[in-house]
Structure 1
Amino acid sequence: MIDALMEIDAMLDGLGAKVKRTFLLSQCDGLTYAAIAETVGISLRTVNNHMAKAMEHCCRLRLRHAALG
């Protein structure tokens, strides 16, 4: 479990703290976007933007790793 968390942390390296927190609240804590918005004190639109940025970042990293394979 710790290895997986360290891998996720490394994968999210380079993202801003707010984007990273939003992603972790969604993926690790299972919060809905509305619950994240309320918890963090940001708009639902900002949650959507943060999640899109985090997902794009992760996809790009996976593609790079696959290409280096």
Structure 2
Amino acid sequence: MREAIASCFRSANSQSEAINEAARVAVVLQEAEILCGIYFEIAEAAIGEDAVRRLCDMAIEKRIKDS
């Protein structure tokens, strides 16, 4: 999460743009984290904890990329 937000500051044209983008990314990451939490126990039982964590990471990356 820190890296995603830090990248907003590196790529922004202004401080205001960076803050707005970082806030948007933080919301997206929080939503993805909540979704992952809801299904974590069910998925963990089916495919294992490591696989679930990788899927959550991929979902977060995709959500950031798509938004």
**TM-score interval for Structure 1 and Structure 2 normalised by the shorter chain:** 0.3 to 0.5
Give the TM-score normalised by structure 1: 0.43
Which is higher, the Rg of structure 1 or of structure 2? 2
* Relative contact order, higher structure (CA 8 A, sep 6+): 1
**Which is richer in helix?**
2
The normalised TM-score by structure 2 is: 0.44
